[in-house]
Amino acid sequence: MNAIEVEGISKHYGSLRAVDGVSLSIESGTIFGLLGPNGAGKTTLIAMLVTMRRPTSGSARVNGFDITKQADSVRKSIGIVFQDPSLDDELTARENLELHAAMYAVPKQVRHGRIEEVIKLVGLEKHLKQQVKTFSGGMKRRLEIARGLVHHPKILFLDEPTIGLDPQTRAGIWDYIKKLNEKEGITIILTTHYMDEADSTCQRVGIIDSGKIIALDTPENLKNTLGGDVISIKCGGTDQCVNEISQLKWVKGAVKHGGFVDVRVEKGEEKIPKILRLMEQHGIPVESVSLHKPSLDDVFLHYTGKTIREDEAGPRDAMRLRRRAWGHRK
Ligand SMILES: Nc1ncnc2c1ncn2[C@@H]1O[C@H](COP(=O)(O)OP(=O)(O)OP(=O)(O)O)[C@@H](O)[C@H]1O
Ligand SMILES: [Mg+2]
């Protein structure tokens, strides 16, 4: 059975097509990752699926319920972890969870048990009585995940669950997400900017750009369709470098990003000397060369012509993190 069925869904803001005719299905019990640059339409797509925004056109079913005609049933069957932090800092962890349980009409007699259960899943059982404002960023994120689970949803939506956290905390959160999926069988739908983490966590990913899904498959298949090796060249004059390299008949593709040119070839180790000779002939200075198998980053670059590096996470995120650091209440 499919947890999600989306058919030609769009959301327009004036002339902007934030989501533009997206169709996709997500199988129950899987982890699905939605990847895309800032402003691609990830949050808008998720907001429609969780019934917080009405589509301009198209339709979707979540757990078999129609998102416009059966919004209440959709809401009861899903959990959400928003991109922006949404805990009440003044309350304790337990109070935050109780508030949520009450909002979702979890019966009083089972609330206590549920809270104990979800807090253990994210390893925060020792901090239940602590005010949330004393929590680290990672602890808050884990508590938000726990909160999204209190009413036993079949699907959990996570919009950028690890943005702005340090690598170790991010790894911990991904472990919790995988555990939830494996042990509890919860379908997970997430968005992320971290390609390698999406690669190791998601069974399927969709790449979204300018409101459209441009690639949809397992990370393995997406990487395999690129094939071969990627030679990454740091050089001066990237435009000229791309022009010259593109003319070689054994080059499958060459794209520039930042001060780099990424070249896709078969048997990369044999091609490096040839490329270096070509650069020398044309007087293009080369600073460094490296060779790797295609990653999801390369897939992303191939389909969108852009990279999705952490430092490109965008000014909105930077602002959010600063606000968080200064302890602003939303
Ligand atoms: N309420 C709104 N009114 C007008 N435009 C909006 C609104 N919400 C989103 N947009 C625009 O729709 C586009 C998609 O935004 P969305 O937040 O879905 O992107 P995103 O992929 O989640 O980006 P990010 O990675 O930064 O979170 C952007 O151009 C954004 O400016
Ligand atoms: Mg977003």
Query: Domain of 289: which CATH number?
Result: 3.30.70.100
297 vs 310, higher pLDDT? 297
163 plus 193 within the same structural domain: yes
131 plus 256 within the same structural domain: no
316 touches ligand 1 (CB under 6 Å): yes
Tens of pLDDT, residues 320-329: 443 443 433 3
Residue 315 pLDDT more than 50? Answer: no
94 plus 238 within the same structural domain: no
Is residue 303 assigned to a domain? no
Distance 245 CA to ligand 2 centre (A): 36
40 touches ligand 1 (CB under 6 Å): yes
258 plus 112 within the same structural domain: no
137 plus 275 within the same structural domain: no
Coil, strand, or helix at residue 165? Answer: coil
Any idea what DSSP says for residue 52? S
Is residue 171 assigned to a domain? yes
Tens of pLDDT, residues 190-208: 999 888 889 999 999 999 9
81 plus 168 within the same structural domain: yes
What is the mean pLDDT of the segment spanning 139-166? 90
147 plus 178 within the same structural domain: yes
Into how many domains does the chain fold? 2
What letters, b where the CB count within 10 A reaches 16 and e where it falls short, cover 23-62? ebebeebbbbbbbbbeebbbbbbbbbbbbebebeebebbb
Domain ranges, residue 122: 2-218
pLDDT given at position 188: 96
Is residue 328 assigned to a domain? no
Coil, strand, or helix at residue 82? Answer: coil
Q: Which of 13, 46, 83 to mutate to test the pocket of ligand 1 (most atoms within 8 A of CB)?
A: 13
pLDDT given at position 309: 59
28 plus 104 within the same structural domain: yes
What is the mean pLDDT of the segment spanning 35-60? 95
Q: Which ligand is nearest to the Cα of residue 47, counting in written order? A: 1
49 plus 98 within the same structural domain: yes
Residue 127 pLDDT more than 90? Answer: yes
311: confidence class by pLDDT, cuts 50, 70, 90:
very low
The whole-chain average pLDDT of the chain stands at: 89
Q: Which ligand is nearest to the Cα of residue 37, counting in written order? A: 1
pLDDT given at position 119: 92
What is the mean pLDDT of the segment spanning 77-91? 91
**Which residue in 198, 184, 175 sits closest to 123, CA to CA?**
175
11 touches ligand 1 (CB under 6 Å): no
Coil, strand, or helix at residue 17? Answer: strand
pLDDT given at position 330: 31
91 plus 240 within the same structural domain: no
Is residue 58 assigned to a domain? yes
CATH number at residue 67: 3.40.50.300
53 plus 169 within the same structural domain: yes
What is the mean pLDDT of the segment spanning 148-173? 88
d(CA 268, CA 290): 10
121: confidence class by pLDDT, cuts 50, 70, 90:
confident
232 vs 327, higher pLDDT? 232
122 plus 254 within the same structural domain: no
Distance 45 CA to ligand 1 centre (A): 10
Question: Which residue minimizes the CA distance to atom 8 of ligand 1?
Answer: 44
Is residue 318 assigned to a domain? no
